[in-house]
């Protein structure tokens, strides 16, 4: 916005598609686009034209804050041996199928 970027590619955007009501938006892939409207149209043309889609989100990749590989030990390791921390612990036994279903 503030500075004129000099590069030969448009900005990268991430695309999330909701396939039907009451289902979450799932990451479909990435596209390049010149602006927000262009991103929405490119997302539609690349990912949503043939499949079923109800709604599309696009977000500039640079706006996604991601954890780093270095974060992994302190972020994720401690939960591995403490199943009682999982939200399903008290209602269900930890069943892999639960996690696989969208």
Q: Where do contacts with other proteins occur on this chain (CB under 8 A)?
A: 10, 31-35, 37-38, 41-42, 45-46, 49
Cβ proximity to other proteins: between 50 and 91 the closer is 50
Closest distance between other proteins and the C-beta of residue 37, in Å? 5
Angle among Cα 93, 98, 101 to the nearest 5 degrees reads: 175
Closest distance between other proteins and the C-beta of residue 73, in Å? 38
Closest distance between other proteins and the C-beta of residue 29, in Å? 11
Radius of gyration of the chain (CA): 19
- The torsion angles phi and psi of 99, rounded to 5 degrees, stand at -80, -25
Cβ proximity to other proteins: between 8 and 87 the closer is 8
């Amino acid at each position: 916005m503030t500075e004129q970027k000099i590069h030969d590619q448009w900005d990268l955007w991430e695309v999330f598609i909701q396939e039907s009501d009451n289902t979450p938006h799932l990451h479909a892939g990435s596209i390049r686009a010149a602006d927000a409207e262009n991103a929405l149209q490119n997302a539609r043309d690349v990912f949503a034209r043939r499949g079923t889609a109800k709604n599309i989100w696009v977000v500039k990749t640079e706006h996604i804050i991601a954890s780093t590989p270095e974060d992994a030990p302190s972020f994720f390791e401690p939960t591995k041996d403490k199943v009682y921390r999982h939200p399903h612990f008290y209602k269900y036994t930890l069943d892999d199928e639960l996690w696989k279903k969208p």
